[in-house]
Structure 1
Amino acid sequence: MKYILDFEQIDLSSIDKVGGKNASLGELIRHLKPLGIGIPGGFATTASAYWDFLDKNKIKEKLHA
């Protein structure tokens, strides 16, 4: 399972994996970069990374206590 995705790997179909804002950034980069518009690289952490972090560190239990 991937926890980090490069913005160039993300588009609007990735909303469930990385959220709406990150999916929109990925979509912009995918459309603007081929036009020669300079955009700095970046990455998004996935929702799976967030939930696994909470589970492995028993944070979810503390939040619901």
Structure 2
Amino acid sequence: MALPTLPLSTAAREPLVLPLSAVGLEAIALVGGKNASLGELIQQLSQEGVNVPGGFAVTAAAY
């Protein structure tokens, strides 16, 4: 039995997943408030030299 494959992007070419380092508060509508806040925190801490583990956010387009 073949497993179903998932699309890599929507028909509108919207990303389904983004690295947290690429999102900030301006992306609340795209990734939600918690992910946007995490992205903002990662960006600010990285500028201060703090090592922060990477992560990703599933976008609203994925749903």
* TM class, shorter-length: 0.7 to 0.9
More helix by percentage = 1
Give 1:56's aligned residue: none
Q: Distance in 1 between matches of 2:61 and 2:15?
A: 8
The offset of 1:13, in angstroms, is: 0.5
- 1:38-57 correspondence runs (5 A): 38-50=51-63
**Identical columns (%):** 52
1:15 is aligned to 2:24: no
In the superposition, the TM-score normalised over structure 2's length comes to 0.76
Computing the radius of gyration from Cα coordinates, the structure with the larger value is: 1
Task: Find the aligned partners of 1:2 and 1:47 in 2 and give their Cα distance.
Answer: 9
Q: Which runs of structure 1 show a deviation greater than 3 angstroms over 4 or more consecutive aligned residues? A: none
Provide the TM-score with structure 1 as the length reference: 0.74
How many equivalent residue pairs?
Answer: 50
Shift of 1:34: 1.4
Distance 1:34 1:15 in 2: 21
RMSD of aligned alpha carbons: 0.6
Gaps of 5+ in 1: 51-65
